[in-house]
Amino acid sequence: MSFLVRLPENQYPAEALARLAAGPFNMAAGRAGVWLAQLAYEDEQDKIERIAQTWGLTTHAFFKPSVATILPLTRTRGVILQGRGARVIAFAGTDPLVAADWVTDFDFQLDADGVHAGFGEALNAVWPDIAAALTGSARVDPLFIAGHSLGAALAVLCAVRAKQDFSVTPEAIYAFGMPRIGSAEFAMAFNQTLGHLTYRFVHGEDIVATVPPSVLGFRHVGCLLTCRSHGKFELSQLQPPGSDNPKFTPALLQALQSGILQLLSSSLPPEIRPDLIGQATRLLPPAIADHLPDRYWKAFDAG
């Protein structure tokens, strides 16, 4: 993955997964999910293993298959972890500097199952590794699945596949900045079985959470929890499955307005991370900046 989505090792909090456990959803569990999603963006195995060990987890598998093309591209990436009485699958999201990720994101066709074709193909690419992890252990610990952006979509599809293929129902699915995944029929069927276990977080004016537009036949899934830009997610704002917000057109208009106001005022949003990359991302328009992984984990720490 590129420098835009990786994070310096010393910025991973040692206690991030302190509350990853089975039971009713709470914000500490959501915080654990967002840090797992962040970890999936890393591409140095030794670094992932050190962080996982700090969190009391061991790495079970990594996946980063090649795309079937003459170009040296990669797409679906992630990590499978175990420990703290749990199994974890975490997916990386879209990397702005990896062309294959953009090809996956903008394949807006619906397949025969009513699923975004690009997302379905991306999960298929790594399913053998995931299937092996789900069936290769004698222990049957609760399963948690997490992801950001494209990774959030893959987390949802992974939950569907785990239930269909192995009768494994995840304890929770944590989806941050997730685009719409499938048709209205897909969303209805998903919400009836896994919607109450799926927590969809949208930070500020995140434009990715508005696409593909509903007018193309796509719908959102899961329980929705939103917060304002640079705000804090609050459990009291959690909505049950069924919401298709945020809508594309109003969000786009708001994004244009916010971008113009930021440009005219020459003001910068609050600092999230002190390194140079963190400082540079403060120059991004809100619709893009609000989608970054660091905005999401900060929204669980904000005061």
Q: What are phi and psi of 225, to 5 degrees?
A: -135, 120
Residue 72: the pLDDT is 38
The two tokens of residue 10 are: 């010393």
Domains annotated for the chain, with CATH where assigned, are 9-247+289-298 (3.40.50.1820)
Consecutive sets of 10 residues in the chain, 303 residues long: mean pLDDT of each?
74 91 86 96 93 95 61 67 93 63 58 90 90 78 94 97 96 96 97 98 94 93 96 96 88 60 66 77 83 93 60
Residue 106: the pLDDT is 53
Q: How many CB atoms sit inside 10 A of residue 288's CB?
A: 16
Tell which residue, 174, 121, 180, 117, has the closest CA to residue 147: 174
Whole-number Å distance between alpha carbons of 57 and 85: 9
Residue 51: the pLDDT is 97
Residue 253: the pLDDT is 59
Whole-number Å distance between alpha carbons of 126 and 131: 9
250 to 216, 243, 253, 290: CA distances (angstroms): 16, 15, 5, 16
